[in-house]
Amino acid sequence: MSETFKGKSTSRRAFLRGAAAAGAGALGAGAAKAATPDPLITETQPWARGFGDGVDVTPYGLPIRFEDDVVRRNVDWLTADTISSINFTPIHALEGTITPQGCAFERHHSGAIELAKEDYRLMINGLVETPLVFTYADLERFPRENHVYFCECAANTGMEWAGAQLNGAQFTHGMIHNMEYTGVSLRTILAEAGVKPEGKWVYVEGADASSNGRSIPMEKALDDVLVAFKANGEALRKEHGYPVRLVVPGWEGNMWVKWLRRIEVTDAAVQSREETSKYTDTLEDGTSRKWTWEMDAKSVVTSPSPQAPITHGQGPLVISGLAWSGRGAITRVDVSKDGGKTWETARLAKPGEKMALTRFYLDTTWDGKEMLLQSRAMDETGYVQPTKTQLREVRGLNSIYHNNCIQTWWVKPNGEAENVEVS
Amino acid sequence: MSETFKGKSTSRRAFLRGAAAAGAGALGAGAAKAATPDPLITETQPWARGFGDGVDVTPYGLPIRFEDDVVRRNVDWLTADTISSINFTPIHALEGTITPQGCAFERHHSGAIELAKEDYRLMINGLVETPLVFTYADLERFPRENHVYFCECAANTGMEWAGAQLNGAQFTHGMIHNMEYTGVSLRTILAEAGVKPEGKWVYVEGADASSNGRSIPMEKALDDVLVAFKANGEALRKEHGYPVRLVVPGWEGNMWVKWLRRIEVTDAAVQSREETSKYTDTLEDGTSRKWTWEMDAKSVVTSPSPQAPITHGQGPLVISGLAWSGRGAITRVDVSKDGGKTWETARLAKPGEKMALTRFYLDTTWDGKEMLLQSRAMDETGYVQPTKTQLREVRGLNSIYHNNCIQTWWVKPNGEAENVEVS
C-alpha cells in the first residue's frame, strides 16, 4: 500500500496542486477560504451554519438523494414480463465486497410473493425416517451458522455469448450479489428427519407459483448448503425469499430456492423443468451440458467502465474490480490495459475467501491514451478465467448460461468506456 | 456444529413432533396439508396461486412490512434535543455481524447535514510540507482499503452505570454498528502533504456546525485510520457522514468524525471541548480519566433479551450474542445462566477479527426455569470483561462513558426477560 503510494507521490502531488489551482470559481474559492481557518467560512458553507436532521427523522435510513442512480435496473426486452424477470446490481457504483440488500439483484419466475413468518412452513419428506414440518420458530431453535457467499445467476453475462455488448458492468455482470447469511445447515435439518440409506439427492422447491424445483446431490446438501433466514444481519428482503431461502455456495443462483417450502429426499434427480429445458447449455452439435452447477472463476473491472467513466485527466488512476469462483477462493487477479497482450498482477483488498466476492485494485497512472481494460481471475484449484474466444471454441455460440469469459472495456482518451470484443 | 446438534437430536425431534401436533387450527391444518404433497395445497396458500411483484417494483428494496419494528429508536429524555442526540441499532433483532446502514445507530451534535460531493473539500494543514485541499474526486484517486470495523459510541451502556436498567439490548448496547468500510488510509493522505518532524498529533474536524474536533496521536493516525467514503459497498448514509467520514478502528465513536472537513497536523493535543469537558470519565475522587480512546472488550446476549423473549417452551434454545474489543480480536466468550456462578464457553460463529463484531452462540436446552443470563468476552490481549461491581470499584459511579461491564438478563419461566443487576 504505502509503497504503491510512495512510488506515485510526486505525480500525485503535482496533480493535486493542479486541481487546487485550476478550478476557477467554486473550487478556487472553496480552497482559498479553506486554506485559512476562518469563522466566515460558514458564510459560503450553509451546512456548517445551522442544524441538520435529528435522530428521529429516519428510523430506517435510506441513501441520500444524490445517490438516486445507485439502484437495481432491469431491461424490459430480456423476458416476456417483469414478473418472470431479473434486475441487476449496480456493481459499477459499489465498492468493497458486501452488497446491501436494497440494491442486490433479484430474479424470480412468478414474481416476489409476500409470505408471513406465521404462515411459513418447511416440509422435509421423501426418503427420511421421520417426515417433518417446521415452522419459522422451529428453525430458530437449531444451531446457526454465518457465512459470506456470492449468489450469481447462471445467466449472468449470458447476453454476451453472441456479442450483445450491453453497455455497462451493471448489465453485463450485475446478476450477482454477496452477503453475510445466517441460517441453519441443511445437514442439521436432514439429520433431524433422518436420511434413509437410499436417499442420494434432495429436491428443493419454493412456495411461489413457479415453485422453481431443483435437484441437489446429497454430497452438496450435506456439505455447505444453508437454510437461511437473514442476510447482512437483517431478515431477507421480500424479493430475496423472505422469510427463508436456500443458500447453495458457489452454485448457480437458480438453485438458491426462495420462499423455501419443501425438501424431498429422493434416490435420483427429479429432472425438473428448471434443470432440463432450462439451466442446461446447448453446445454446437445440438447436445446439451447438464448439471452445470458450479460457477466458474470470473472477474470484471467495475471502474472505470461504461457507467463509471474516468472523469479526471491523466495521472493517478484506481482500477477497481470484483473476482469470484464457485470452486473456492480467488488466489490472483491480473489486469491488462492492452486487450490481453500484457498483464499486471492486481492487489487483492483481502485474501480471497471461498465462494465470496473478492475486491481487486490496480493502482496505476493513466497516460491519457486509450486502453483495452481486461481482468483475469485465478482460483485455488488453478483454474484460469478464459477469453471469450477460448470459451466459444469449447461451447460454441448457442449457450446462454455460464459465460465466465474475460470482459473488455475500451476506455477512450476522453475517459468514456465502451463494451467491446477483442479477438 | 453437527456434533453440537447430534447431542440434542432426540430432544429436538421430540419437541418438533410436539409442535406439529400441538398447534390447533392454523398450524395443525397447515402441517396436515403439507404432510401430503397435494395440488389443493394452493387453496389455503394464496401466495402459491398467483403472481408476485415484478422486478421493476423496487429499484431500491426496503424491508418487508412485517419487519417494521426492526428500526433505530431514540429516547427523548436522553438529550435536550434530537438534533444533538443518538439513536440505537436494533441489535436484539439482528443476526450475524454486518449492520445494514439503514438501521445502524447515528449520533451527532448538531444534526445530520446534507453535503454534496461537488461541495466537499478536505483540507490538510498545520505542520505539513504542503498544505492541500482535496476534492471528493481527488480522494478517489488514491489506493483504497477495505476493512470491517465496529463503531461504538463511548456512551454505549452509559446509562447503566447508576443502574438505569433500560429494558432492552437495543437501548443498553445499541450504540454500535459494524460495517465493511472502503476508504483511503490516513497514512496515505498525510504522506501526500508530508508531515513535518514536529508533527505529533492530528486534529480532525467535521463540516457540521458542531465540527466535533478531536485530537488523535500520530501513532494511531499512521496506523489503521481510514478516510472512508463507502460502507457495506454503498456511499455513506447522510446521517453517517456522507460523503466522507473518519474511521478510527477500536476507538470511541466520537473520534470517527463525520462530514470530515479538516485534518490539522499539530505538535500537541488541542484539548478541545469534546476531549475535555466531554468524553472524559470522572472518578470517585473528582479527578477525570482523559484520552480513554480504546473501547474495552465487551459483549452482550442479544437473544433472549427483553425485546426478544423466548416464545417457545422448554427444550432446544439458541442463545445468541455479540462480542467485540477495541484492542484486537475476540478470542473467547463464556455464557452464564446463573448470574455468573457457573460458565459455559460459547461457540464463535467465526474466529474473532481485529476491531470487528464477533457473533457467539450457546446451543443449549432450556429447562423452563428462570435464568440470569450473562456473557463474558475475552480478547487477544488476555483482557477479560469485568462485572459491574468490579468496574464500579475502580471507576466509581460518576462515569458515563466506557461502561463495558457484564450485562445480566433475568429470563423468567414465561420466557420474558428483564434487565437486572446481580452483585
pTM of structure: 0.91
Q: Which of A74, A142, A233 faces B100 most closely, judged by CB atoms?
A: A233
Q: Give the pLDDT mean for B329-349.
A: 98
Q: Give the pLDDT mean for A209-224.
A: 96
- Nearest CA-CA distance, residue A138 and chain B, Å: 7
Residues from chain A contacting residue B205 (CB–CB below 8 Å) = none
Report whether pLDDT(A306) > 80. yes
Over pLDDT 70: what percentage of chain A?
A: 90
Q: Would you call B111 and A54 a contact, using CB atoms and an 8 Å cutoff? A: yes
pLDDT in tens, B355-396: 999 999 999 999 999 999 999 999 999 999 999 999 999 998
pLDDT in tens, A101-116: 999 999 999 999 999 9
What local confidence, expressed as pLDDT, does residue A43 receive? 58
What local confidence, expressed as pLDDT, does residue B49 receive? 80
- Nearest CA-CA distance, residue B292 and chain A, Å: 26
Q: Which of A68-77, A157-166, A404-413, B85-94 has the lowest mean pLDDT?
A: A157-166
Q: Give the pLDDT mean for A130-145.
A: 98
Q: Give the pLDDT mean for B25-31.
A: 32
What local confidence, expressed as pLDDT, does residue B54 receive? 86
> In the beta sheet, which residues pair with residue A330?
A379
What are the cell numbers at A67?
A: 445517490
What local confidence, expressed as pLDDT, does residue B165 receive? 79
The residues, any chain, with a CB within 8 Å of residue A382's CB and separated by 6 or more, are none
Q: Which of A13-27, A47-61, B97-111, B163-177 has the lowest mean pLDDT?
A: A13-27
Report whether pLDDT(A389) > 80. yes
Residues from chain B contacting residue A207 (CB–CB below 8 Å) = 45, 47-48
Q: Would you call A16 and B82 a contact, using CB atoms and an 8 Å cutoff? A: no
* Pick among B83, B105, B234, B359 to test the A interface (most A CBs inside 10 A): B234
pLDDT in tens, B163-213: 777 889 999 999 999 999 999 999 999 999 999 999 999 999 999 999 999
Cα B129 from chain centroid (whole Å): 38
Report whether pLDDT(B34) > 60. no
Mean pLDDT of chain A, nearest integer: 89
Q: Would you call A233 and B6 a contact, using CB atoms and an 8 Å cutoff? A: no
Higher pLDDT, A130 or B42: A130
- Nearest CA-CA distance, residue A287 and chain B, Å: 32
What local confidence, expressed as pLDDT, does residue B245 receive? 98
Over pLDDT 90: what percentage of chain B?
A: 76
Pairing label, strands A121-126, A260-266: parallel
User: Alpha-carbon distance B45 to B64, whole Å?
Assistant: 19
Q: Give the pLDDT mean for A53-60.
A: 84
Q: Would you call A311 and B49 a contact, using CB atoms and an 8 Å cutoff? A: no
Q: Which of B192, B317, B320 faces A9 most closely, judged by CB atoms?
A: B192
Confidence of residue A22 (pLDDT cuts 50, 70, 90): very low
Q: Give the pLDDT mean for B112-140.
A: 97
The CATH classification number of B298-420 equals: 2.60.40.650
Report whether pLDDT(B99) > 90. yes
> In the beta sheet, which residues pair with residue B338?
B372
- Nearest CA-CA distance, residue B294 and chain A, Å: 25
Tell me the count of A-B CB pairs closer than 8 A: 407
The answer to whether B124 touches A328, Cβ cutoff 8 Å, is no
Q: Which of B95, B125, B141 faces A230 most closely, judged by CB atoms?
A: B95
What local confidence, expressed as pLDDT, does residue A271 receive? 93
Residues from chain A contacting residue B48 (CB–CB below 8 Å) = 113, 207-209, 211, 261
Closest-CA residue of B relative to A242 is: B64
What local confidence, expressed as pLDDT, does residue B43 receive? 59
Closest-CA residue of A relative to B102 is: A61
Report whether pLDDT(A17) > 60. no
Q: How many CB atoms lie within 10 A of CB B387?
A: 18
Confidence of residue A31 (pLDDT cuts 50, 70, 90): very low
Q: Would you call A52 and B133 a contact, using CB atoms and an 8 Å cutoff? A: no
3-state DSSP call for residue A313? coil
User: Alpha-carbon distance B348 to B327, whole Å?
Assistant: 18
Residues from chain A contacting residue B117 (CB–CB below 8 Å) = 66
Q: Give the pLDDT mean for A338-357.
A: 98
pLDDT in tens, A228-253: 999 999 999 999 999 999 999 999 99
Helix (H) or strand (E) holding B147: strand B144-152
Report whether pLDDT(A4) > 60. no
Q: Would you call A100 and B232 a contact, using CB atoms and an 8 Å cutoff? A: yes
What local confidence, expressed as pLDDT, does residue B75 receive? 79
Domain boundaries, chain A: 3-48, 81-289, 298-420
Q: Would you call A83 and B54 a contact, using CB atoms and an 8 Å cutoff? A: yes
Q: Give the pLDDT mean for B117-125.
A: 97
Residues from chain B contacting residue A304 (CB–CB below 8 Å) = none
What local confidence, expressed as pLDDT, does residue A374 receive? 98
Phi and psi angles of residue A194, each rounded to the nearest 5 degrees, phi first: 80, 100
- CATH 3.90.420.10: does it fit domain B81-289? yes
Please state the ipTM of this predicted complex.
0.91
The residues, any chain, with a CB within 8 Å of residue B247's CB and separated by 6 or more, are B147, B149, B151, B181, B183, B225, B226, B227, B228, B256
Q: Which of B34, B50, B188 faces A123 most closely, judged by CB atoms?
A: B34
Most confident listed range (A56-60, A81-85, B90-94): B90-94
